[in-house]
């Protein structure tokens, strides 16, 4: 399976914003997410899925999964 490049792009945005580990990303609030410059609705959905994957200890599965409904 290939790495989901859209997820990687979103993770880079999150890291650039200062959320640099799983604990910080999982604790992001909607205000934190909305404060990310240029964030789109699709990217907000990806962040939500990432947070769920972190909490379920399935980050690698998240990165390898093709996100449905996003043209892939």
Per-residue pLDDT of the chain (72 residues; tens, 9 = 90+): 678 899 999 999 999 999 999 999 999 999 999 999 999 999 999 999 999 999 999 999 898 875 444 443
Angle at Cα 65 formed by Cα 27 and Cα 59, nearest 5°?
Answer: 35
pTM of the model: 0.84
d(CA 42, CA 20): 21
pLDDT at 64: 87
User: Are 33 and 61 within 8 A, CB to CB?
Assistant: no
């Amino acid at each position: 399976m290939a790495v989901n490049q859209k997820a990687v792009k979103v993770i880079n945005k999150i890291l650039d914003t200062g959320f640099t580990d799983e604990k910080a990303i999982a604790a992001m609030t909607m205000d934190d997410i909305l404060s990310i410059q240029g964030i789109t609705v699709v990217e907000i959905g990806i962040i939500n899925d990432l947070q769920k994957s972190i909490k379920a200890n399935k980050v690698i599965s998240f990165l390898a999964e093709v996100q449905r409904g996003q043209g892939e």
